[in-house]
Chains A and B, each alone.
Chain A
Amino acid sequence: MSDDRAALTDDGVLVRQARAGDMAAFEELVRRHERAVFSLARRMLQNEQDAEDVTQQTFLSALEHLRNFREEASFYTWLRRIATHAALKIIRKRRGLDTISLDAATAPDENDHIPHPEYIADWRATPESLARRNETRRLIEEALGELDDKHRVVFVLRDVEGLSVRETADVLGLSEANVKVRLLRARLQLRERLTRLFGDPDRRVAREEHAH
């Protein structure tokens, strides 16, 4: 298949061609989705080597199980599920090696108290203009890296990948209530961090004013 023709072909058609033994069709599917899979893994895992491992595992697994792919969902949805599970496996393995108890992941702290925003200020620039700056990318990725794994994974799926709460819960095997609590914590923590970076100190609202 020529590259031009491949570029115009729908994922579903490429999947059928790949199943019928067309390696070029499979390679085109990989080319289309490799950056998205790698980015998802990198954001979840905050480590380039681990993200490479997950990306390779994901496409090897897709190649092997192409026959099991049901076309009710998009091909990328299927890849995302494989990649997310591979990333979670690495996170669990890391936790296992941690000296911290595994129970930390399921501590019943979450519903009790929502941390109150501390640093409240209007931002100095719009998200659009911030997004155009190279250093912004580094700063927002660093802030993402400071989240707990369980909060980061939910935030990446919901707010970066754009899944619904229900879809996020489904992929992670969590309840929707649990996803919502983790998402709120992630959003609040990132808001806190980014407002300290991008907030205008002259337009800061003191916490004392916010006691009612």
Chain B
Amino acid sequence: MKCQDLLKQLNEYVDGTLDPSVCEEFEKHMAGCNPCQVVVDNIRKTIMLYKAGEPYELPAAFREKLHAALRQKWKETHTPE
């Protein structure tokens, strides 16, 4: 396996869905290739950082507007004629 081949299998490797025989080759290549080891580690950390991201708060004015619009819509659709 060459570095370029490793790149192509990168998703499956970090997601743990790589075929075991390919995985073995992948790890054999990494054991002898420090840059590929670091790239894989960088990718894992990149994904972890985004996964750890906190949700955004709604701007207060928008939140009020949203709830008012929903109450209005609720009245329109739930009031008997």
Closest Cβ neighbor of B35 among chain A residues: A210
Is residue A122 contacting chain B, with contact meaning CB distance below 8 A? yes
Q: Mark B46-81, 1 if CB is under 8 A from A, else 0.
A: 111111111111110011011101110110011000
Residues of A within 8 A of B71 (CB): 23
Determine whether the beta carbon of A36 is less than 8 Å from that of B35. no
Complex CA gap A121/B65 in Å reads 47
Residues of A within 8 A of B63 (CB): 34
Is residue B10 contacting chain A, with contact meaning CB distance below 8 A? yes
Q: Mark B1-23, 1 if CB is under 8 A from A, else 0.
A: 01110011011000000000000
Determine whether the beta carbon of A190 is less than 8 Å from that of B38. no
Q: A35-B58, A187-B10, A191-B42 are in contact. Are A212 and B50 (CB under 8 A)?
A: no
Residues of B within 8 A of A209 (CB): 34-35
Complex CA gap A211/B57 in Å reads 46
Identify which of residues 106-162 in chain A touch chain B, using a CB-to-CB cut-off of 8 Å.
114, 116-117, 120-123, 126-128, 130-131, 136-137, 140, 144, 155, 159-160, 162
* 6 closest residue pairs by CB, A with B: A210-B35, A39-B55, A127-B48, A131-B52, A35-B55, A39-B56
